[in-house]
Amino acid sequence: MTAPAFDPVTIGVVSISDRASSGGYEDKGLPALKEWLGKALKNPVTYEARLIPDEQATISQTLTELVDQAGCCLVLTTGGTGPAARDVTPEATLAVADKEMPGFGEQMRQISLNFVPTAILSRQVAVIRKQSLIINLPGQPKSIAETLEGLRDAEGQPKVAGIFAAVPYCIDLIGGPYLETHDAVCKAFRPKNAVRALRG
């Protein structure tokens, strides 16, 4: 019996920062996104990575390009989701949306509230554009992993579900590729009738 073939996927990762994009300091968002996705996904992944400033038009243009031209089924952004004047990632994301998916932002804030009361200042959104899911993540690498993966208790058992558990099925529903995860990192949830049989 041969091993099942996993669908190849193209994922956009976007770090949004004035200082990092101008060379003011080393960007940590893109490495954090790639590292986590590399651990979580069984699929072969092609990354479309972008490091851009906090400019609303540039962010919207980048998201549009990643979905419409690069064919990304998933786009993850990091940075620019707070209340400061230059934090415009949510506005830029909503501007290119066909549908908003508010549950993702609600769950991200719920996870972060386990650590800091200022989590309520975060404005992350998630949207559908065509056959792609776009999600705004927090700016810190530790927070990126926590929101994607969820929280575990002292015994290592899942305590609060991370948002990525819902991502594969969402992409199924909008006509994208079949994402498969390593359960030890993040167990994707699908209804039984949506689980693909092992091939081989």
Q: Domain 9-194 classified CATH 3.40.980.10?
A: yes
Q: What is the pLDDT of residues 67-109, one digit of tens each?
A: 999 999 999 999 999 999 999 999 999 999 999 999 999 999 9
Nearest to 118 by CA among 94, 93, 141, 84: 84
pTM of this structure: 0.94
Spans of all domains in the chain: 9-194
Q: What is the 3-state secondary structure (H, E, C) of 113-151?
A: CCCCHHHHHCCCCEEEECCEEEEEECCCHHHHHHHHHEE
Of 7-11, 45-49, 151-155, which range is least confident? 151-155
Residues written for the chain: 200
Alpha carbon distance 46, 160 (integer Å):
29
Q: What is the pLDDT of residues 164-180, one digit of tens each?
A: 999 999 999 999 999 99
pLDDT(53) > 90: yes
Q: Which helix (DSSP H) or strand (DSSP E) does residue 105 occupy? A: helix 102-112
